[in-house]
Amino acid sequence: MITSYSRQTLIDWFHRTSGVNGQPTPDEVKTTCPLCGGDVLYFNVRKQVGVCHSAGCEWHDKVFLHELIEVFGFAPSQHGEWEDAPEHLQKEVTLPGYPVLFRDSNRELMTNSEPSLEYLRGRGIDDLVTLNWGLTCDGERIFVPIFDMDGSLRNYNSRLLPGFQGKKYLYCVGAKTSHYILGWGECRDWEDLALVENTFVSLAYRGRMHCATTFGSNVSELQADLIAESGIKRVAILWDENAEAGADRALKKFDERGVRAAYWKIRGQPDDYPIDWVAEKCAEIKQAADSGKKWIDYRKLSQAP
């Protein structure tokens, strides 16, 4: 019986078995050949067949998935976190509300909601970010779209406007937040990445730093894979006070994938501090990541104004 696995499932499986050498392309993963030990086994994750480039290797012409499964001793996960991904990925999400900002026929910037615009500006979010990201509002909440790599809308995060009763932050019901990274279509081409917990903080920093969010103080296996497969070389984790345990777990995931990362320890949360201060510390955290340091403690230095 032939079982077809998704690309992500196979990449995860190689991470757990013979490793992933370099950046996988959409079709191909380069791994270490478990038969000859050469690091030039190219496995096509679409056709689910590979070839080992080592001369003299038995798999020089062709190796099938079932042969790899036999050597590794276990098949790619069928019940893990990955299995529900393809089904979920087909789910289309509609962004509620209407644009906070739009251009009229004279190309003038107009708003549908003064309170929303005022709130976003108050959080340091540039008007052009509000416009270009297509942030919407429905009178009570502001919505931030969360796109898949192919540009399909898969989720949104929303914030209750001041003066209304309800949950402060809400994601789209049924969407899997841990499958995505905010603005991934753009950040996957960056060389470095800063991660904050909050979606709106991320948007406020976007013009100043290469900043995104994994939507909280956790990096899922899938998000770590996305980052490892991108051009990103180092990650600065700028989470809130007391997120050290989560940051340690994230570091472990990045380390397993060959991505350099470090985090900071601060009092409060990043938006308690001036953006210049954050940008400066962010640069230091990236240097720390490069030199193999795990974290820098700014708690003595930092005092929330």
Positions that interact with Zn ion (CB under 5 A): 33, 35-36, 38, 52, 54, 57, 59
Q: Which is nearer to Zn ion, 54 or 178 (CB)?
A: 54
Q: Which amino acid is at 56?
A: G
Distance CA 30, CA 103 (A): 47
Secondary structure, 3-state, the chain: CCCCCCHHHHHHHHHHCCCCCCCCCCCEEEECCCCCCCCCEEEECCCCEEEECCCCCCCCCCEEHHHHHHHHCCCCCCCCCCCCHHHHHCCCCCCCCEECEEECCCCCEEECCHHHHHHHHHCCCCHHHHHHCCCEECCCEEEEEEECCCCCEEEEEEEECCCCCCCCEEECCCCCHHHCCCCHHHHCCCCEEEEECCHHHHHHHCCCCCEEECCCCCCCHHHHHHHHHCCCCEEEECCCCCCHHHHHHHHHHHHHCCCEEEEEECCCCHHHCCHHHHHHHHHHHHHHHHCCCCEEECCCCCCCC
Q: Shortest approach of Zn ion to residue 37 CB, angstroms? A: 7
Q: Shortest approach of Zn ion to residue 57 CB, angstroms? A: 3
Q: Shortest approach of Zn ion to residue 35 CB, angstroms? A: 5
Q: Shortest approach of Zn ion to residue 55 CB, angstroms? A: 9
Q: Which is nearer to Zn ion, 57 or 144 (CB)?
A: 57
Q: Which is nearer to Zn ion, 52 or 187 (CB)?
A: 52
Distance CA 241, CA 298 (A): 11
Q: Shortest approach of Zn ion to residue 9 CB, angstroms? A: 23
Q: Shortest approach of Zn ion to residue 34 CB, angstroms? A: 8
Q: Shortest approach of Zn ion to residue 22 CB, angstroms? A: 17
Estimate the crossing angle of helix 7-16 against helix 221-229, to 10 degrees. 90
Q: Shortest approach of Zn ion to residue 61 CB, angstroms? A: 11
Q: Which is nearer to Zn ion, 31 or 199 (CB)?
A: 31
